């Protein structure tokens, strides 16, 4: 079997998506950024990519949210202000039509932010000394921006939220992971509903991806919530992100 046939085979794609779901769910993320990158690299259409990615995000973060909530990492006072503004903006973003080039650039920017957080800002904490009102205002503004990006690119938005909570010292890594899972689940649901309304398409043929990410999320979120340290899973996540960045840059500038 040639390499091109290998990477386009359902079995190979399912294995890759299982690994992505496993790693991402362990740190409270849905994997939308990497699903999206992989599908872009493999030649999926721009219309199909956000729809499939958001659907997989919902599955992974449903399982992840349950596991993190069961282990009492969810802090509702922390996540609520982000949700208030992000949910309507995620719905708006899902209704927008964007060009392939813009879509790919948003995705590449998202991946670079995550890589920078893992490798450059890993131990950085910013003390803002904000009042409770100031934290709410900051969270409301951030939530609206993250929600819009989530709806447009189909990446859930938690890929920004989790490092933001950690860098600003708003919560622990486990709390950030729990908030990320809940945030992604709700915003992915809104983005998905909007896309079903404004950009409908058939996704039944991708059921094998649903099975793959569900299995990965069951294992990854359990280990992340109950067993493994966030730093260990972060290092593995960083490798996946770097591979996706290189592949996407090749697609944008070389192919």
CB-facing half-sphere around the CA of 221: CA atoms within 13 A: 31
179-231 pLDDT tens trace: 877 887 887 787 778 777 776 666 666 788 888 888 888 888 777 666 656 56
52-108 pLDDT tens trace: 887 888 888 787 777 777 777 677 788 888 888 888 887 787 777 777 777 778 778
* Long-range contacts of residues 34-37, Cβ cutoff 8 Å, at least 24 apart: 34/111, 34/240, 34/241, 34/244, 35/213, 36/107, 36/153, 36/154, 36/155, 37/107, 37/111, 37/244, 37/245, 37/247, 37/248
CB 207 within 8 A of CB 56: no
The span from the CA of 162 to the CA of 166, in Å, is 6
> Tokens 């794609």 map to which residue?
13
pLDDT at 8: 62
Residue 168 has pLDDT above 80, yes or no: no
* DSSP one-letter code for 204: G
**Single pTM value for the model:** 0.67
The first and second tokens of residue 60, run together, are 């992974």
| Residues in Cβ contact with 149 at an 8 Å cutoff, skipping those fewer than 6 apart | 93, 106, 110, 155, 157, 160
CB 48 within 8 A of CB 39: yes
Q: How many helices (H) and strands (E) does the chain have?
A: 11, 0
User: Over the Cα atoms of the chain, what is R_g?
Assistant: 17
The first and second tokens of residue 100, run together, are 């392939």
Q: At what angle do helices 48-70 and 207-226 cross, to 10 degrees?
A: 30
CB 32 within 8 A of CB 155: yes
Residue 42 has pLDDT above 50, yes or no: yes
pLDDT at 176: 79
118-146 pLDDT tens trace: 777 666 566 667 677 877 888 888 888 88
pLDDT at 3: 46
pLDDT at 242: 80
pLDDT at 63: 78
The span from the CA of 240 to the CA of 225, in Å, is 20
CB 90 within 8 A of CB 151: yes
Residue 137 CB: number of other CB atoms within 10 A?
A: 13
CA atoms 150, 153, 156, 157: torsion sign:
negative
């Amino acid at each position: 079997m040639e390499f091109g046939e290998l990477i386009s085979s359902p079995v190979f794609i399912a294995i890759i998506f299982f690994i992505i779901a496993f790693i991402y769910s362990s740190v409270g993320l849905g994997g939308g950024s990497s699903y999206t990158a992989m599908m872009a690299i493999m030649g999926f259409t721009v219309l199909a990519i956000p729809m499939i990615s958001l659907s997989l995000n919902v599955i992974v973060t449903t399982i992840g949210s349950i596991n993190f909530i069961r282990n009492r990492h969810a802090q509702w006072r922390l996540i609520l202000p982000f949700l208030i503004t992000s949910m309507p903006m995620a719905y708006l973003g899902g209704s927008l039509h964007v060009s392939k080039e813009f879509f790919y650039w948003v995705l590449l920017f998202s991946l670079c932010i995550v890589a920078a957080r893992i490798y450059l800002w890993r131990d950085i904490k910013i003390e803002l000394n904000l009042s409770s009102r100031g934290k709410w205002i900051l969270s409301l503004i951030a939530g609206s921006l993250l929600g819009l990006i989530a709806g447009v690119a189909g990446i859930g938005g938690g890929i920004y939220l989790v490092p933001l909570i950690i860098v600003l010292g708003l919560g622990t890594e486990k709390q950030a992971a729990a908030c990320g899972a809940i945030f992604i689940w709700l915003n992915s649901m809104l983005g998905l509903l909007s896309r079903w309304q404004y950009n409908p398409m058939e996704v039944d043929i991708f059921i094998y991806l649903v099975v793959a990410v569900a299995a990965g999320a069951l294992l990854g979120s359990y280990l992340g919530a109950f067993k493994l340290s966030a730093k260990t899973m972060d290092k593995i996540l960083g490798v996946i992100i770097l591979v996706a960045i290189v592949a996407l840059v090749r697609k944008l500038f070389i192919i």
